[in-house]
Structure 1
Amino acid sequence: MERFNPDASFNALEPRIIDEDLIRKALDDEGPKGEAGRLMLQDGIILAEVTCIRLEFFKILAIDHLWMMTSLVKLNLSNNIIEKIENLEALVNLKELSLSFNYIKKIENLDKLTKLEILTLFENLISRIENLETLTDLKILSIGNNIISNWDDVVYLRKFKGLYSLNMAGNPCCSENHVGDGKRSKPKDGESIVEIDVKFGDGELIEPKQRKREFEIYIAAMLPQLRYYEYRLVNEEDRAEGHQKYRHKLLSLSNEEEKEEIALQKAKEEEELIHKEKAAWVENLRGSELFQVMFSSDPYGDALVKLDETMQEIYEEFKTEFTKTTRDLYEIGLAKKLERDEEENQFLSCLKAAKEETRKEGEGIMTELFKEKDHTFSEICRLAQRLEDEGGVIQSASKNTEDVNGDAGDALVEVSTLGEEDFTEQELVVRMHSLGEEFKNRCNKVWSQLMALETHLYEQIEDTISTFERNLSELVSSLIEAVQVHFVSCREFATQFHEKITTYAPRYFAATKARIAACQENLYMTDEDDESDQNSTSIQGQETKDDCPSVPKILEQCLDDKEALQNMLISSHDSHIQVIDTKEDAIMSYSKEWLRKKIDKYTREEIEGNRKRLHEIITVTNLLKEELEELQQACITLPMLAEMELMDG
């Protein structure tokens, strides 16, 4: 299959869906050739690490299997037969998407691609610009040669403040020549051009021949952020003309956008406040939310408090006292959250200061060690070069081996006191060996120093975490105490409400029952009147029936059954207490769990950090020793090594 020769092979292809084989073929086609390509195939391609892919001219009908390529930044699906935008949700890092030259009818399913900057939909069947709200980083949009006819689609693009390049050429809204199949082409000889009347901003009709020019002026006015239209710089004279011509529409849009901005800002602030409340464990305590929850879960109580004014007064009194108490707890919770945040910030600051101090001290030690390394290695290399210049063979003319190795400590002292010009080859070897041993000892000493520093740091961190845990525990305990005190008050208010309702409700139902009985008796007596007064009594009876008292169906049994009323009142009270208890338990549970997780998190992080730093210390010192050994092996000949082994023996 010749990928880039659509005239020869594209029509012969069978429609297909994107699968892993197609993805790998496209990557192979785009990858390096020759030896580099062979090595790439040998190592294998990790799809999750691919950042760019072109899937053009494959006669792709549907998008699929791209969820594996989460690192994609650029995706080209142009020149296929795709009918629907779908299955792109996993490509959250995508910045450039090309879907030009397909059969897409609707812009959709792009809401997860929040990093998208370039979107190309040229030559499709799209009739509306829509569903792009989440693409706040959009900079370039090409949607020419589609079937967009409404000029208001341009207004939709005002919300994309970073949009600086737009192409809508070839759409009915701006094209002088339009063929009605959704694809743009010049008419053949003898064919007529389909003319579409398009309404623009102020509802007037524009003749096709004037449409393109007028649309450019409209674009310039409606999109102040736009710098390029149809890849040409926007004419500032067109923008000024458009501002004058469409000033009323622009003013109306500006007012609407200002209102929308205010609404969005309020929604954002509310969302932030809710998030803040959840973090402080005081959600539903700001106003009457918790109070409303009590009655929404208590249909009997909700119906009862609406029976008459006295019931409503008792209810309102309960609501006022209850919501004031929960509001006080809400303020305390937010204040305690600030205190916890401040405590955590101080804790992190202490950790940072301790680590920084240890880091600087460790860097100073390592800097000195590396200076010694450079000096030692250069000395060894210089001595080795001198040995090489003198033949690299051990001579025993000046001293025999037994004299040199009789006592290792004396030999080193003796060699160190000699002038270098007096050194024999044996003495040079001893000197090189001595330098190496000194550096190894220095590495061991540095290892001990760094380990001591790290041990001291870890002990500091342990103490800091213990102090942090103690302080946080006190803050959480103080909040729990406040929660308990305030919810005790809430339960007392609920009990007082229950007592008032329990006292008043029986009297209310007894009086209501008596009124209903009297009303029914009156209706019965009316039915016994003479037939001559039937018309007038019917009217009077109807009026009396309408005036008869009634209760909600859910409470009807309370009229005749005092025990049912008492059970209902007890059930209502229990429901209220359960809501209060549940909220109290939730706050206490959340706070204790938060404390445990917070301390566990920092403890785990510091243990892992300590292990990592210890590993670095061991690795660095071992590497330096290995470098020394490699240098000695490179500089010292076999006879020298034999001599050094005799000395060590």
Structure 2
Amino acid sequence: MSGKGEKARITEEHLRAIVAEQFIKGPAGRNQVERLEFYEVQKLDLGSKHISRIERLWEFTSLTTLHLNNNYIQKMEGLSRLTNLTSLNLSFNNIMKIEGLESLKKLEELNLRNNKISALENLDSLEKLVSLNMANNILQELSQMLYLKNFKNLLTLNFCGNPLSEEENYKLHIIAFFPNLKYLDYTYINRETKKQASVKFHIELQKLDLEEAEKEKKTEALKTQESDLQLHAEAFVESLNGSFLFEHMFKYDPLANKLQSVPEISAQQEPYPLYLLILNVSLTFKEKMTGLCVQLFETGLVEHKRRQAEVNSFFTGHRMTTAEIMQKETELLGAFEKYFKELKNESATTFQTFQASAHKDELNKLQKHLLTLEFKLISQIEMMIKKLDVALAEMVGAFCDTAQEIYPLRKNSFAQCRELENKYHEKVQEIIAVTIEEVTRDHGVEDLSDDVKMVFLDKETVMGALTTAHENHLLALQDRENLLITRANAWKSKCIKKLQEKELQRNRKTLSHIAKYVDHYEEELHKINR
């Protein structure tokens, strides 16, 4: 590939020469090499070829064993297409980082001995890894070994020659945390050594087990949460199972936030807790609105379940109908193939003289019967899709009506959430009006800061801000209502369209198969007729 000691690049010519050389030595022989393609090669030895970079290996898709040892390679790359690799040898190179192995999910043996690697990383996809050789690298911390704890198939490890191997109880530590290990640093691990390691690191093992159990618990909780969020989104009621919508309405309402932070002021010698009044009105609004949201949320989950049951019922019916038609098609094809087999056994002379047109008629009848069955299947499935469309339209419509009853923002339509918002707005208006009067008279407002007083001194501004907040609250409700209705209707339309497109593809494929089948037997009849 290059002169002695010189770094080299992999070329196609060099690869072909190496493959030819390996196969001539092997059982395939010289005659086989000339016809050999790269994608057929299963083992490739590129060791000691002065290679500086891994490249041009993408065609070796059947490769199971690859040797790249004793080269000048600095980066692990160019291996992603070699998805059938089970053994990879990159020992005695200049590699500094483990990378580029994500697609090698079948890899069982990985040899990275005598490199410059300082971290165990990027091996997560190698679930089938049985043997890992990391001898003579620069791994420092023994705790790094815990990265491999979840590799359940590991039987052989080699870390000798790394700084971490100099730590006290290095071998016992690894053996304790890897109970399934059979070989460590080229040495078989006997039962007595395993027992000694288990006793010595008993407390650490218990702690690790507890940590793993807690981690697994959190992982399961996260999966459950993600699954729940997905379900809520599919039911179009995400973020309605609590006070999220209420909090969204008030998140960007600076006036409401400031009013709730105002300290007590007095009016007519009596305590007049403005902040408490505002807070109580807000909490009452929040509690009632949250209840309505949860009610819609629960309704949404029930409706989602009903829609899903309807879709599942469609697919069940589709499978049964298709299976019934396919059974009849199979019987027709079987009968014709039997007929044709008997025909070929007849005398060619008899067939040509008396039977040619009759046999052609039989093929035409078969084609007609197959097309009739396909038309019947099309009609039945179209009817089923229409029925599903009507059912889903009714369900989605009913659910949207329920949502609109809870969020009725159209003119002259007053119901629960808007009514709550209106009541809240009116009560806050009343409280602010009284406060403005007290601030104007400078009566009992000594505890108010100057910036808060300024809010109430400008009646037009504060009332304008309150009106704007009210309109923004209603707009937030309307946006959420529109989102629910739009997504629900879009889902229904997409669902039906997808079924129709899938059925159209199936129909075209079936018609193509029938045409090819008939053409084939027409050619066969023509051959017999000659």
Q: Helix, strand or coil: the match of 1:478?
A: helix
Alpha-carbon shift at residue 88 of structure 1 (Å) = 7.0
2:158 to 164, 167, 184: 167
Whole-Å separation in 2 of the counterparts to 1:625 and 1:300: 84
Report 1:587-606 matches (<5 A).
587-606=484-503
Q: Which moved more, 1:613-622 or 1:222-231?
A: 222-231
Letter of the structure 1 residue corresponding to residue 480 of structure 2: K
2:367 to 433, 440, 447: 447
Whole-Å separation in 1 of the counterparts to 2:105 and 2:449: 58
Report 1:60-459 matches (<5 A).
78-85=69-76, 98-108=89-99, 118-133=109-124, 135-136=126-127, 138-174=129-165, 198=167, 206=168, 214-230=169-185, 234-307=189-262, 308-379=275-346, 383-384=347-348, 429-459=349-379
Whole-Å separation in 2 of the counterparts to 1:318 and 1:70: 65
Q: Helix, strand or coil: the match of 1:125?
A: coil
Give CA deviations for 1:88-128 in whole Å, capped at 9, x if unaligned: 77888876655433323334566676676554432222223
Give CA deviations for 1:409-442 in whole Å, capped at 9, x if unaligned: xxxxxxxxxxxxxxxxxxxx35543233332221
Whole-Å separation in 2 of the counterparts to 1:64 and 1:331: 57
Report 1:421-570 matches (<5 A).
429-488=349-408, 489-508=416-435, 510-511=437-438, 519=446, 548-550=447-449, 557-570=454-467
Contact 1:318 1:497 in 2 (8 A): yes
Letter of the structure 2 residue corresponding to residue 127 of structure 1: S
Whole-Å separation in 2 of the counterparts to 1:556 and 1:137: 71
Letter of the structure 2 residue corresponding to residue 486 of structure 1: I
Letter of the structure 2 residue corresponding to residue 597 of structure 1: K
Give CA deviations for 1:327-382 in whole Å, capped at 9, x if unaligned: 11111111111111111111011111111011111111111111111111011xxx
Alpha-carbon shift at residue 163 of structure 1 (Å) = 3.3
- RMSD over aligned Cα atoms: 3.5
1:13 to 7, 21, 26: 7
In the alignment, structure 2 segments of 5+ residues that lack a partner are: 25-29, 263-274, 409-415
Whole-Å separation in 2 of the counterparts to 1:517 and 1:72: 88
Contact 2:105 2:126 in 1 (8 A): yes
Whole-Å separation in 2 of the counterparts to 1:495 and 1:65: 71
Q: Helix, strand or coil: the match of 2:132?
A: strand
Whole-Å separation in 2 of the counterparts to 1:510 and 1:58: 93
Letter of the structure 2 residue corresponding to residue 339 of structure 1: R
Give CA deviations for 1:234-260 in whole Å, capped at 9, x if unaligned: 423222111111101111111111111
Q: Helix, strand or coil: the match of 2:407?
A: helix
Whole-Å separation in 1 of the counterparts to 2:251 and 2:480: 15
Alpha-carbon shift at residue 460 of structure 1 (Å) = 0.6
Percent sequence identity is 29
Alpha-carbon shift at residue 469 of structure 1 (Å) = 0.9
Q: Which moved more, 1:76-85 or 1:276-285?
A: 76-85
Whole-Å separation in 2 of the counterparts to 1:95 and 1:588: 52
Residue 581 (structure 1) aligned with residue 501 (structure 2):
no
Closer, same or farther in 2 for the Cα pair 1:218/1:282, shift >3 Å?
A: same
Letter of the structure 2 residue corresponding to residue 499 of structure 1: E
Letter of the structure 2 residue corresponding to residue 572 of structure 1: A
Contact 2:83 2:105 in 1 (8 A): yes
Q: Where does residue 209 of structure 1 map in the other structure?
A: none
Contact 2:7 2:51 in 1 (8 A): no
How many residue pairs match? The answer is 504
Q: Please report the TM-score for the alignment, with normalisation by the length of structure 2.
A: 0.83
Alpha-carbon shift at residue 262 of structure 1 (Å) = 0.9
Report 1:47-62 matches (<5 A).
none
Contact 1:102 1:123 in 2 (8 A): yes
Q: Where does residue 411 of structure 2 map in the other structure?
A: none
Contact 1:26 1:54 in 2 (8 A): no
Give CA deviations for 1:474-497 in whole Å, capped at 9, x if unaligned: 111122112212223333322222
Closer, same or farther in 2 for the Cα pair 1:259/1:55, shift >3 Å?
A: same
Q: Where does residue 413 of structure 2 map in the other structure?
A: none
Contact 2:7 2:72 in 1 (8 A): no
Letter of the structure 1 residue corresponding to residue 378 of structure 2: Y
Whole-Å separation in 1 of the counterparts to 2:256 and 2:86: 57
Closer, same or farther in 2 for the Cα pair 1:163/1:271, shift >3 Å?
A: farther
Contact 1:26 1:53 in 2 (8 A): no
Give CA deviations for 1:56-80 in whole Å, capped at 9, x if unaligned: 5565656678899999887765444
Contact 2:243 2:290 in 1 (8 A): yes
Q: Which moved more, 1:72-81 or 1:588-597?
A: 72-81
Whole-Å separation in 2 of the counterparts to 1:240 and 1:124: 33
Closer, same or farther in 2 for the Cα pair 1:71/1:466, shift >3 Å?
A: farther
Q: Where does residue 410 of structure 1 map in the other structure?
A: none
Q: Helix, strand or coil: the match of 2:163?
A: coil
Whole-Å separation in 1 of the counterparts to 2:61 and 2:439: 70
Whole-Å separation in 1 of the counterparts to 2:344 and 2:78: 60
Whole-Å separation in 1 of the counterparts to 2:241 and 2:380: 41
Q: Helix, strand or coil: the match of 1:442?
A: helix
Give CA deviations for 1:373-422 in whole Å, capped at 9, x if unaligned: 1111011xxx35xxxxxxxxxxxxxxxxxxxxxxxxxxxxxxxxxxxxxx
Closer, same or farther in 2 for the Cα pair 1:556/1:284, shift >3 Å?
A: farther
Contact 1:117 1:137 in 2 (8 A): yes
Q: Helix, strand or coil: the match of 2:157?
A: strand
Whole-Å separation in 2 of the counterparts to 1:605 and 1:113: 34
Q: Which moved more, 1:495-504 or 1:110-119?
A: 110-119
Q: Which has the larger radius of gyration?
A: 1
Contact 1:291 1:319 in 2 (8 A): yes
